[in-house]
Amino acid sequence: MDDCVFCRIVAEEVPADIVARGSLTRAFRDTNPQAPVHVLVVPVEHVADVTEVGAQHGELLAEMVTTAHQVAAREGVAEGGYRLVLNVGDDAGNTVPHLHLHVLGGRRLTWPPG
Ligand code: 5GP
Ligand code: ZN
């Protein structure tokens, strides 16, 4: 999608600090990090949000989660712990309409989240 910022990052038309490239996913650092490690894992294909996810996305979801764990390990936060977040809809603060898994770590994360 031409007007989707994450599609444009995947296409490398918009610069981003890309930390992992998979066949179905890209991972890049969030420009407004909420923790010392804050990486977004996104599908290469435009999927708006979880309401569009179905059984056909099994391989994609597996790659998103395994990529998130690999990034966490490489960033040195896998052992201490980290958080994976999918914000869905307005009340959760979802702002970019392209599915993205937040990988947050490097500090003690509070629960419940704000
Ligand atoms: P959401 O609130 O939709 O779950 O998360 C969107 C995230 O994307 C936010 O944390 C925001 O900082 C990040 N973001 C928005 N635009 C850009 C961008 O152009 N580049 C990068 N790297 N991150 C972005
Ligand atoms: Zn997109």
What domains are defined for the chain?
A: 5-105 (3.30.428.10)
The reply to whether ligand 1 has any atom less than 6 angstroms from the CB of 32 is yes
Q: pLDDT 10s digit of each residue in the chain, 114 long?
A: 789 999 999 999 999 999 999 999 999 999 999 999 999 999 999 999 999 999 999 999 999 999 999 999 999 999 999 999 999 999 999 999 999 999 999 999 999 998
Instruction: Note the pLDDT of residue 94.
Output: 97
Structure confidence at residue 50 (pLDDT): 96
CA angle, 94 as apex, 68 and 42 as ends, to 5°?
30
46: annotated active-site residue? no
**How far, in Å, is the centroid of ligand 2 from the Cα of 49?**
10
Catalytic residue among 38, 57, 98, 100: 100
Going from the C-alpha of 10 to that of each of 14, 50, 52, 113, 114, the distances in angstroms are 8, 19, 19, 29, 30
Cα Rg of the chain, angstroms: 14
For ligand 1, is residue 31 a contact (CB within 6 Å)? yes
Burial track 50-67 (b if 16+ CB lie within 10 A, e otherwise): eeebeeebeebbebbeeb
Please give the distance, rounded to the nearest whole angstrom, from the Cα atom of residue 42 to the centre of ligand 2: 9
